[in-house]
Structure 1
Amino acid sequence: MVDPLLVVGVLVSMFVAYNIGGSTTGPAFGPAVGADAISKTAAAALMSVFFFLGAWTIGRNVVTKLGTELVADPGVFTLESSIAVLFFIGVALLMGNLFGVPASTSMTAVGAIAGLGLAGGVLDFAVMGEIVIWWVVSPIIGFWVSLIIGRYFYARLNRMIAMERSTGPLLDVDRSGPVPVPRVHETTNRRELYGTITVVAIGCLMAFSSGTSNIANAVAPLVGSKELAMNPAIVFGGIAVAIGAFTIARRTLETMGSDITELPLTAAIVVASVSSTLVVFLSTLGIPASFVVIATVSIIGLGWGRATRPMTVPEAVTAEDPPRVSVDALAADEEGEELPPIGEEEPDGPDAGDLFNPATTARVVLMQNVVPAIATVGAYLTFRFVPIFGF
């Protein structure tokens, strides 16, 4: 007979995975949907497939790290404690949504498990130190790679990626034979075809990278408790992510409610490529990576690189009146417009509200660190002083 508490644990785990599917589909396929490259249903289907592939292959490395290596004695992962850990992760997702800031699920999951390990006196500080070091190093790598791309290669990439929409459909389906064969429509230009393939491919890469890292946030506590084996845990998590992608993710795809998808298309592709590659690399090492943090810092690096690109600076620009670049100025390349020289943007003009806002950036970075800290402290106090857990 199945333990009812295990059923509760699986349902809570699937709820976390459901939210992961809803929150990550938009950033992954928002640019593709926004560019009319694919439909929302196709985006959800691709998200489901590539998330599962990432979880089934590389993702199990991160599940092992969180479920069996972060704590010296995996025996602390009882069903009760596993459900509590998943509860703290779910609360973190809720807090991020309420504050309008994308909280790091990976950092929160590690924090909640670390709180459990501290309360039980079984936290492996060597493993925790390795994770923290990579958390510091990976955003720095993302920042500098994005900065270099923004400074030296962005304009060229933009000319390569920019899509010119044709009047007809992208593909036709040839049904003359026994098997339908898709063919490029006669009005489709090569730039449009390559641009569409690029945008969709980047979305698939992001979905894969999400699976490699985020599956552990939903199932690692249950796998660590040995109450649920790795393979069925990944299957349950993948199903829940797919449900989230086909349901609540449709709203994020419509509103493009992610920092990445609000960027110009070329910038979104650069940030997604850099961030996803780093996440897959870290997941291969078993490190639970925060795509949100890496992407946020990469956005800053890309903007800084664009703002400091080599060019002749007008004499009117002084140290007291530093050059500033707006999001609309970045987007100008997308529309084939000529970028204004750095320092000649009108600070009081229509682009004034889009200028880089240090206060907003500080709020995002602060919340991305505060939410995991709350999960860590909350988990520690709960496991340390609530008698049911026996620590």
Structure 2
Amino acid sequence: MTSLLLIAGVLVAMFVAYNIGGSTTGPAFGPAVGADAISKPVAAALMGVFFFIGAWTLGRNVVTKLGTELVVNTSVFTLESSIAVLFFIGLALLIGNLFGVPASTSMTAVGAIAGLALAAGVLDFAVMGQIVIWWVVSPIIGFWVSLVIGRYFYARLNRLIAIERSTGSLFDLDRSGVVPIPRVHKTTNRRELVGTVTVVAIGCLMAFASGTSNIANAVAPLVGSGELAMNPAIIFGGIAVAIGSFTIARRTLETMGSGLTELPLTAAIVVASISSTLVVFLSALGIPASFVIIATMSTVGLGWGRATRPRTAPEIVTGNGGPPVTVDALAADKEGETLPPIGAEDVEDIPDPGALFNPVMTARVVLMQNVVPAIATVGAYLTFRFVPISGF
């Protein structure tokens, strides 16, 4: 009977990891895909590789700690209760993925474990409070930093980076030998190549960071119960994440790459840099990083900032009259156009700022990213509070 339960537990853990791959690939590589730097299959492959590296190296420490930080008595993690917790994590993440919205894996997993701990009366409220505070503060920081950059510094930053997409692919495959060798396409310029490598490298860093923290969300309850060893758990989880990246992650890649805002290569670098910096900072503090929320709010902040681009004080003084206006700066960047001075645009030619900031999509994302963890938390609490479970 125990063997059957363990097999069921491994399958449920892989189901959770599968949905982790679906929900975290978008925030990590959505900017690169949205900027046409890499394709979705390449993003999925990179996600699988770097997630596994992060999980195999630093992730095992988080797996060990997740089962002890939120609860004051680890005996609450029986095989049966672990399976139930993983089920609610996977179910909640699946709902977010089906809606094409990347849900926070850390928030969902911590919520489910907190529901279990609260029902058993072993929740450490001090630790939970510290985590929640950072979950609230970090997306706000990402949003406002991105908004300020988009509103006041993006045009100047874009001129410094000056990444313009050329026609055709970045690389060609030289098939003259036995093994195909990728070579830089003849129309690819150096700035474009450097920018592409940068945004993809940041995505790989975010995938690595995801592996260090999110592998615990899939396998920590089983490892904590003592029923599954660490190394097999990481291998099973890594395989399932890769499968999720190649399949269900396609919708979240579209949402993060183009659904929230038009995202050229320069903007992708800004969003990925801010998000990855905050994630690394939170990881250093030992906080389960909700980089899905951080990346989403950074994307929204940058798009909103560009959609409300103002005139500067010198331009007002020099008589570039008319009310403050907006400009489709990201779209201009995407086409390699030169932007007019701030405040000198022809008001009649200014497109709808909704092309830069999609309030409907943003509201949908914010709503689902709060609903999904709530489903896991409430579902786990009610189950362990009112439904008899063997061993609990």
For the aligned pair, the TM-score class normalised by the smaller chain equals 0.7 to 0.9
Q: 1:31, 1:261 within 8 Å by CA — same for their partners in 2?
A: no
| CA distance in 2: counterparts of 1:52 and 1:216, whole angstroms | 12
Deviation at 1:382, TM superposition (A): 0.9
Q: 2:215, 2:234 within 8 Å by CA — same for their partners in 1?
A: yes
| CA distance in 2: counterparts of 1:324 and 1:221, whole angstroms | 53
| CA distance in 2: counterparts of 1:257 and 1:12, whole angstroms | 29
Deviation at 1:295, TM superposition (A): 1.8
- Counterparts of 1:167-246 in structure 2, within 5 Å, are 170=171, 173=174, 184=184, 186-246=186-246
Deviation at 1:167, TM superposition (A): 5.8
1:367 aligns with 2:373: no
* TM-aligned CA distance change 1:345 to 1:63, over 3 Å: farther
* TM-aligned CA distance change 1:180 to 1:361, over 3 Å: closer
Q: 1:260, 1:271 within 8 Å by CA — same for their partners in 2?
A: no
Q: Which amino acid in 2 is paired with 1:296?
A: T
| CA distance in 1: counterparts of 2:97 and 2:44, whole angstroms | 20
* TM-aligned CA distance change 1:369 to 1:255, over 3 Å: closer
Query: Which residue is 2:322 aligned to?
Result: 316
Q: 2:27, 2:292 within 8 Å by CA — same for their partners in 1?
A: no
Query: Which residue is 1:53 aligned to?
Result: 53
| CA distance in 2: counterparts of 1:182 and 1:251, whole angstroms | 28
Deviation at 1:347, TM superposition (A): 8.7
Instruction: Indicate the larger mover: 8-17 or 273-282.
Output: 273-282
Q: 1:27, 1:261 within 8 Å by CA — same for their partners in 2?
A: no
Output one character per residue of 1:54-88: Cα deviation in whole Å (capped at 9) or x when no partner. 22233334323322221111111111111111111
Q: 1:138, 1:278 within 8 Å by CA — same for their partners in 2?
A: yes
| CA distance in 2: counterparts of 1:161 and 1:8, whole angstroms | 52
Q: Which amino acid in 1 is paired with 2:11?
A: L
| CA distance in 2: counterparts of 1:157 and 1:355, whole angstroms | 18
Q: 2:293, 2:369 within 8 Å by CA — same for their partners in 1?
A: yes
Q: Which amino acid in 2 is paired with 1:147?
A: L
Q: How many residues align?
A: 384
Output one character per residue of 1:134-171: Cα deviation in whole Å (capped at 9) or x when no partner. 11221233233323432444224323152342567635
1:107 aligns with 2:107: yes
* TM-aligned CA distance change 1:356 to 1:151, over 3 Å: closer
TM-score (norm 2): 0.84
Deviation at 1:288, TM superposition (A): 1.4
* TM-aligned CA distance change 1:385 to 1:343, over 3 Å: farther
Deviation at 1:114, TM superposition (A): 0.5
1:351 aligns with 2:352: yes
Query: Which residue is 1:320 aligned to?
Result: none
Query: Which residue is 1:88 aligned to?
Result: 88
| CA distance in 2: counterparts of 1:258 and 1:79, whole angstroms | 42
Q: 2:81, 2:391 within 8 Å by CA — same for their partners in 1?
A: no
| CA distance in 1: counterparts of 2:238 and 2:258, whole angstroms | 22
Query: Which residue is 2:25 aligned to?
Result: 25
Q: Which amino acid in 1 is paired with 2:299?
A: I
Query: Which residue is 1:129 aligned to?
Result: 129
Return 5+ residue gaps in structure 2 as ranges. Answer: none
Structure 2 SS opposite 1:388: coil
Return 5+ residue gaps in structure 1 as ranges. Answer: 318-322
Output one character per residue of 1:209-252: Cα deviation in whole Å (capped at 9) or x when no partner. 22223212211221222212333222211111112223344565
* TM-aligned CA distance change 1:359 to 1:218, over 3 Å: same
| CA distance in 2: counterparts of 1:378 and 1:270, whole angstroms | 37
* TM-aligned CA distance change 1:88 to 1:54, over 3 Å: same
Name the % identity.
78
Query: Which residue is 1:299 aligned to?
Result: 299
1:264 aligns with 2:264: yes
Q: 2:262, 2:331 within 8 Å by CA — same for their partners in 1?
A: no
Structure 2 SS opposite 1:316: coil
Deviation at 1:374, TM superposition (A): 3.0
Q: Which amino acid in 1 is paired with 2:5?
A: L
| CA distance in 1: counterparts of 2:311 and 2:26, whole angstroms | 34
| CA distance in 2: counterparts of 1:305 and 1:36, whole angstroms | 22
Query: Which residue is 2:8 aligned to?
Result: 8
Structure 2 SS opposite 1:3: helix
Q: Which amino acid in 1 is paired with 2:244?
A: G
| CA distance in 2: counterparts of 1:251 and 1:357, whole angstroms | 17
